[in-house]
Amino acid sequence: GKSFQCELVFAKMGINPIMMSAGELESGNAGEPAKLIRQRYREAADIIKKGKMCCLFINDLDAGAGRMGGTTQYTVNNQMVNATLMNIADNPTNVQLPGMYNKEDNPRVPIIVTGNDFSTLYAPLIRDGRMEKFYWAPTRDDRVGVCKGIFRTDNVPDEDIVKIVDSFPGQSIDFFGALRARVYDDEVRKWVSDTGVENIGKRLVNSREGPPEFEQPKMTIEKLMEYGYMLVKEQENVKRVQLAEQYLSEAALGDANSDAMKTGSFYGSAPSS
Q: What are 222-257's pLDDT values in tens digits?
A: 999 999 999 998 888 777 765 565 665 555 454 554
Per-residue model confidence as pLDDT tens digits over 31-53: 889 999 999 999 999 999 999 99
Q: Transcribe the chain into DSSP letters.
A: -HHHHHHHHHHHHT--PEEEEGGGG--SSTTHHHHHHHHHHHHHHHHHHTT----EEEE-HHHHHS--STTS---HHHHHHHHHHHHHHH-TT---BTTB---PPPPP--EEE--S-GGGS-GGGSSTTT---------HHHHHHHHHHHTGGGT--HHHHHHHHHHSTT--HHHHHHHHHHHHHHHHHHHHHHH-GGGHHHHHSS-TT-S---PPPP--HHHHHHHHHHHHHHHHHHH-TTHHHHHHHHSTTTTTTHHHHHHT-TTSPPPP-
Position 53 scores a pLDDT of: 95
The pLDDT of residue 161 is above 90: yes
Binned at pLDDT 50, 70 and 90, residue 86 comes out as: very high
Fold of 2-125: Rossmann fold (3.40.50)
- Long-range CB pairs of 214-218, under 8 A, 24+ apart, other chains included: 214/184, 214/187, 214/188, 215/187, 216/154, 217/154, 217/183, 217/184, 217/186, 217/187
Q: Which stretch of 22-31, 77-86, 216-225 has the lowest confidence by average pLDDT?
A: 22-31
Per-residue model confidence as pLDDT tens digits over 165-204: 999 988 888 899 999 999 999 999 999 998 888 888 888 8
The pLDDT of residue 123 is above 70: yes
Position 66 scores a pLDDT of: 79
Comparing 268 with 141, the larger pLDDT belongs to 141
Q: How far apart, in whole angstroms, are the C-alpha atoms of residue 15 and residue 7? A: 9
Q: Give the chain's mean pLDDT.
A: 83
Per-residue model confidence as pLDDT tens digits over 90-119: 999 988 887 777 778 899 999 999 998 888
Domain 140-239 in CATH 3.90.1150.10? The answer is no
The pLDDT of residue 61 is above 70: yes
The pLDDT of residue 268 is above 70: no
Handedness of CA 6, 128, 62, 58 (dihedral sign): positive
Binned at pLDDT 50, 70 and 90, residue 15 comes out as: very high
The pLDDT of residue 159 is above 50: yes
Q: How far apart, in whole angstroms, are the C-alpha atoms of residue 97 and residue 63? A: 25
pLDDT average, residue stretch 124-138 = 88
**Percent of the residues in the chain that have a pLDDT greater than 70, as a whole number:** 85
**Beta bridge partners of residue 216, listed in sequence order:** none
Contact (Cβ atoms closer than 8 angstroms) between residue 6 and residue 61: no
140-239 and 2-125 share a CATH fold: no
**Percent of the residues in the chain that have a pLDDT greater than 90, as a whole number:** 37
- Whole-model pTM? 0.70
Q: How far apart, in whole angstroms, are the C-alpha atoms of residue 114 and residue 22? A: 10
pLDDT average, residue stretch 47-72 = 85
- CB-count burial class (<10 Å; 0-12, 13-18, 19+) for 239: exposed
Contact (Cβ atoms closer than 8 angstroms) between residue 58 and residue 34: no
Can you give the residue ranges of every domain in the chain? 2-125, 140-239
Phi, psi of 100 (to 5 degrees): -125, 95
